[in-house]
Structure 1
Amino acid sequence: MRGSNDQISSVVIEEAIGIHRELGPGLFETVYETVLAGRIEKRGLRAERQVPVPIEFDGHAFGAAFKIDILVENALILEIKSVEQLSKVHAKQMLTYLRLTKQPVGLLLNFSAPTMREGIRRLVNNYRPE
């Protein structure tokens, strides 16, 4: 199943809500990451975990400068959190990931929120290089 970012996001959100209902909040991020990636693949989408991202800065290449928690269909970045509350730094981190990877959309998913709907932030890359 390939689709638009909106279709892919819908699948991911459905699965995240289901996982949150079944497992509840409070587990380690890696648990949610593993289970969510499995559920996404069961739905027919490719989900790669811990994807290393190289960057180039000031004439130097840095392999695996950071890792994307889950990359869905090479088009949607998922950043998995299990924190009491999402902060501005989490959104800034995601926006930087989107800009550096030139991806259009990312979902910040906080599995420790009281409800999963409260723990979802959709971020869009509006970065336009000069």
Structure 2
Amino acid sequence: MNLIAEYNKQFERQKQIIGVAMKVYNKYHGGLLESAYECAMKYLLELDGYKVEEQKELPMYWDDVLLDKTYKMDLVVDDNIIIELKAVKFISDDHRKQLRNYMNLTHTPWGMLINFSHDRVYSEWYKRDESGIEQVHLM
């Protein structure tokens, strides 16, 4: 697949996922717990044909030793997009760092941070490659 076709395919997926987030927000509005938005997002994304894992465990290692700490990623879509959901007033750099760390630890190429705040839904897209992680889209 050429780069333009790959970019267009990913852009279409981004639009679809953002559309699902907006649909969830329009139904529930702000003020619910993150888990409410998470289960609605999972349901609607699966209806759209995506493979979605909810609260996917991310074990921690020290070299080859499995540690007693496991993180949980909110949603993993088609094994290559991590969606980190928030229901807070403002997204902070700590929220962004959390998503970036998940992307680095799992070598996942795409990440999305979605905030279901009291007055709107907000999203940020990130891409990971050999040179690092960069923000590619805000909405």
Q: TM-score interval w.r.t. the shorter chain?
A: 0.7 to 0.9
1:122 correspondence with 2:125: yes
Length-normalised TM-score, structure 2: 0.81
Paired-residue identity, %: 26
Partner deviation per Cα, 1:75-125 (whole Å, 9 max, x = no partner): 100001000100000001110100000001111010115222xx1111222
| SS of corresponding position for 1:11 | helix
Larger RCO, structures 1/2 (Cα 8 Å, 6+ apart): 1
Alignment pair present for 1:14 and 2:19: yes
Matched, 1:30 2:40: no
Would the aligned equivalents of 1:107 and 1:122 in 2 still touch at CA under 8 Å? yes
Look up the match of 1:94: 99
* More deviation, 7-16/21-30: 7-16
In the other structure, the counterpart of 1:50 is: 55
Query: 2:29·2:118 contact (CA, 8 Å) conserved in 1?
Result: no
Give the aligned length.
Answer: 125
Q: Which amino acid aligns with 2:82?
A: I
Inter-partner Cα distance in structure 2 for 1:75 and 1:17: 21
Aligned partners of 1:64, 1:12: CA distance in 2, in Å? Answer: 30
- Kindly provide the CA deviation profile for residues 20-47 of structure 1, in whole angstroms up to 9, marking residues without a partner as x: 1111011000000000000000001111
SS in 2 for 1:100: helix
Equivalent residue letter for 2:83: L
> CA 1:105/1:113 → structure 2, altered by over 3 Å: closer, same or farther?
farther
| Change in CA separation of 1:97 and 1:127 when aligned onto 2, cut-off 3 Å | farther
Over the residues paired in the alignment, what is the CA RMSD in angstroms?
A: 2.1
| Structure 1, gaps ≥5 residues long | none
Contact 1:9–1:76, Cα closer than 8 Å, also in 2 = no
More strand by share: 2
